[in-house]
Structure 1
Amino acid sequence: MNLRTTFEPSTKQDIDKIFEFYDLAIAYQKTKFHKQWQGFERSLVTKEIAENRQWKVLINGEIGCIFAITFEDESIWKEKNVDQAVYFHRIVTHPKFRGQHFVEKIIKWGMLFAKEKKLDFLRMDTWGDNESLIEYYQKCGFNFLGVITPEYKGLPKHYDGITLSLFQIEIQKKLP
Structure 2
Amino acid sequence: MSQITTIQYAWAIYFAGSLGCTIAAWWMFIWAWRFVRYAAVVTVLTLLFTPYAIDAETMTMAPAIYTLVFEGMSQGLPAITPLIKLMVGIWLIGIILVLVFVVLTRKSGEQKSPRNKPRGTQSSSSRNSRRLEHHGGRRHETPVVRSSSRGLSRDEFEAREELLKGEVPMRAIRD
Larger Rg belongs to: 2
TM-score by structure 1 length?
0.27
Q: Give TM-score scaled by structure 2 length.
A: 0.27
Quick check: which one's strand share is greater? 1
Q: Which has the higher contact order (CA 8 A, sep 6+)?
A: 1
